[in-house]
């Protein structure tokens, strides 16, 4: 059996990925302390990109060993979660220039990697699938959810940054700021915002972006889960703890989006909602099994 051979290669690429994240962490940290060192930040991003590629390769090897998409236990789910975080972060950094969070994101990734490595062997080994999990639905139910969790995580980092920024610039009680920017002589662009500073407005918007990306994915994941449950168990919804926790998370981010419709909504409250949302994501993803709420989604449980 060549299962063992694949495992070695998988481990190799998994380790490359972890080391790349570790290097990225320090590069980002240095560039964070001195914003002039843009080269370090760029190298950090490059390292994260390398990590993403080698993690993809590791997943391909594992998928080949399993003969199907490697998403069958907590270890594989964590690896794909890490993949989603890196992919989401790199995309957001490229698209919206969120350079501030590289440090937090790669630091968090290290925790995910370590957690995945320290899992008991029962949760890591390549094991056959029980009948209920053998379905193409598995592939369209779980990845959108992991991607949404990754986005909510980055959104929460941004919320923390927002709260810090607001706290720091509390000195001026006047809440709205207007920024005047001269682009050429005589042409001044006036931007007014209700946030305390340009940075705060930026952080607020990064969170919002993450939630607007993540919410549709969460919705799709939950709905696909319901459709799958209908195919496998004959019921769309069974009030299983994982289902209800996902519903709580959905409610929290629905609150976020509806609260934002209100033009007088305070950014601080929005940031706090996003943090509560992340706590719910944690409970949904890991807490349900860790705190033994029971139910049908016990596949990722540590015995």
Q: Which residues pair with 34 in a beta bridge?
A: none
Report in angstroms how near the CB of residue 52 gets to another protein at its nearest.
Answer: 24
* 213 is an interface residue for another protein by CB under 8 A: yes
Report in angstroms how near the CB of residue 248 gets to another protein at its nearest.
Answer: 5
In degrees and rounded to multiples of 5, residue 134 shows phi and psi of -85, 90
* 92 is an interface residue for another protein by CB under 8 A: no
Q: Which of residues 263-292 bind another protein (CB under 8 A)?
A: 280, 283, 288, 291
**Residue 39 or 251: which CB sits closer to another protein?**
251
* 94 is an interface residue for another protein by CB under 8 A: no
* 223 is an interface residue for another protein by CB under 8 A: yes
Choose the stretch contacting another protein; rule: CB under 8 A; options: 31-39, 54-62, 146-154, 210-218. 210-218
Residue 252 near residue 211 (C-beta atoms within 8 A) = no
* 233 is an interface residue for another protein by CB under 8 A: yes
Q: Which residues pair with 193 in a beta bridge?
A: 177
Among 216, 266, 290, 302, binds another protein (CB under 8 A): 216
Q: Which of residues 236-255 bind another protein (CB under 8 A)?
A: 236, 239-241, 244-245, 247-248, 251-252, 254-255
* 4 is an interface residue for another protein by CB under 8 A: no
Q: Which of residues 139-198 bind another protein (CB under 8 A)?
A: 181, 183-184, 186-193, 198
The pairing of strands 187-193 and 177-184 is: antiparallel
d(C-alpha 150, C-alpha 166), whole Å: 24
Residues within the interface to another protein (CB under 8 A): 96, 128-132, 134-135, 137, 181, 183-184, 186-193, 198, 201-202, 204-205, 208-209, 212-213, 215-216, 219-220, 223, 226-228, 231-236, 239-241, 244-245, 247-248, 251-252, 254-255, 258-262, 280, 283, 288, 291, 293-295
């Amino acid at each position: 059996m060549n299962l063992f051979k694949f495992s070695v290669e998988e481990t190799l690429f998994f380790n490359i990925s972890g080391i790349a994240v570790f290097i990225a962490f320090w590069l980002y940290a240095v560039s964070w302390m001195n914003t002039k060192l843009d080269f370090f930040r760029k190298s950090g991003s490059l390292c994260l990109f390398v990590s993403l590629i080698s993690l993809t390769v590791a997943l391909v090897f594992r998928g080949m060993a399993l003969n199907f998409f490697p998403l069958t236990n907590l270890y594989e789910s964590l690896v794909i979660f890490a993949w989603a975080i890196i992919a989401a972060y790199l995309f957001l950094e490229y698209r919206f220039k969120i350079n501030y969070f590289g440090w937090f994101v790669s630091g968090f990734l290290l925790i995910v990697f370590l957690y995945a490595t320290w899992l008991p062997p029962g949760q890591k080994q390549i094991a056959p699938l029980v009948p209920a999990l053998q379905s193409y639905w598995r592939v369209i139910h779980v990845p959108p959810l992991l991607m949404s969790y990754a986005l909510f995580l980055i959104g929460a980092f941004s919320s923390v940054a927002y709260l810090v920024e607001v706290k720091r610039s509390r000195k001026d009680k006047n809440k709205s700021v207007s920024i005047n920017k001269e682009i050429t002589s005589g042409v001044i662009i006036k931007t007014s915002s209700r946030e305390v500073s340009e940075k705060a407005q930026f952080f607020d918007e990064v969170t919002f972006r993450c939630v607007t990306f993540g919410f549709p994915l969460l919705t799709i994941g939950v709905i696909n889960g319901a459709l799958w449950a209908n195919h496998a168990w004959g019921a769309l919804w069974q009030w299983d703890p994982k289902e209800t926790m996902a519903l709580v998370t959905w409610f929290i981010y629905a609150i976020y989006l509806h609260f934002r419709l209100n033009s007088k909504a305070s950014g601080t409250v929005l940031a706090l909602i996003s943090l509560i949302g992340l706590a719910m994501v944690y409970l949904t993803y890991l807490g349900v099994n860790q705190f033994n709420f029971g139910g049908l989604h016990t596949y990722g449980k540590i015995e």
